[in-house]
Amino acid sequence: MFGLKLRETNILKIIEDSLAKLSRHGNVDIQLKNLLENDVVWIDYEQMVTTLFDLEKNAIEAMSDGGSLIIAVVGDEHQVSITLADTGVGIAEENIPLLFTPFFTTKPAGDGTGLGLPSAYAAVKAHCGDMTIESNADPNKGPTGTTVRITLPRRQILQNKDSKMIVHEDD
């Protein structure tokens, strides 16, 4: 958890700010579905905006002919889950286990570094969260697309009870 600047933040603001960073999204319909009563989390705002932006950008790039991206937020008193589901081309089944491997990319040479998903995964793990990816690239098996699920605790819990954490809040 070193390097995180945790502060009380509105998770919906993080999602809205990440979407605002997208320069264009062409003919992709983006929907935000909020099923939270309380959208406050303790999180590193900048790191999570960047993480969501990278995931949203990947989703949009997978839908060059258009489609939809649905971002749903659910949670309870202990955690929040953010699901990004797109109707893009999907990811080949054999590539799923490699997605969090640094420098692995399915994009043509020069179009991707292979660092976006590993960085997003590392950021989620640094928040004591989890990230999973499900995808279908075969139209014969059903609709194509990818679903990314991020689950984050509302507050960071120290694993070692003798540890101390200094929380810095910016005004």
Would 158 be classed as within a structural domain? no
Chain-centroid distance, C-alpha 99: 13
Would 95 be classed as within a structural domain? yes
- Please give the residue range of the domain that contains residue 108: 6-153
- Sorting pLDDT into bands at 50, 70 and 90, what band is 112? low
Would 170 be classed as within a structural domain? no
pLDDT at 1: 42
pLDDT (average), residues 140-165: 78
Q: How far apart are CA 147 and CA 88, in angstroms?
A: 10
pLDDT at 60: 93
Would 87 be classed as within a structural domain? yes
Task: Please count the structural domains in the chain.
Answer: 1
Does the pLDDT of residue 163 top 50, yes or no? no
Does the pLDDT of residue 161 top 70, yes or no? no
Does the pLDDT of residue 168 top 60, yes or no? no
Q: How far apart are CA 35 and CA 19, in angstroms?
A: 18
List the CATH number of the domain containing 10.
3.30.565.10
Would 168 be classed as within a structural domain? no
Would 42 be classed as within a structural domain? yes
Q: What is the pLDDT of residues 52-99, one digit of tens each?
A: 999 999 999 999 899 999 999 999 999 999 999 999 999 999 998 888
Would 84 be classed as within a structural domain? yes
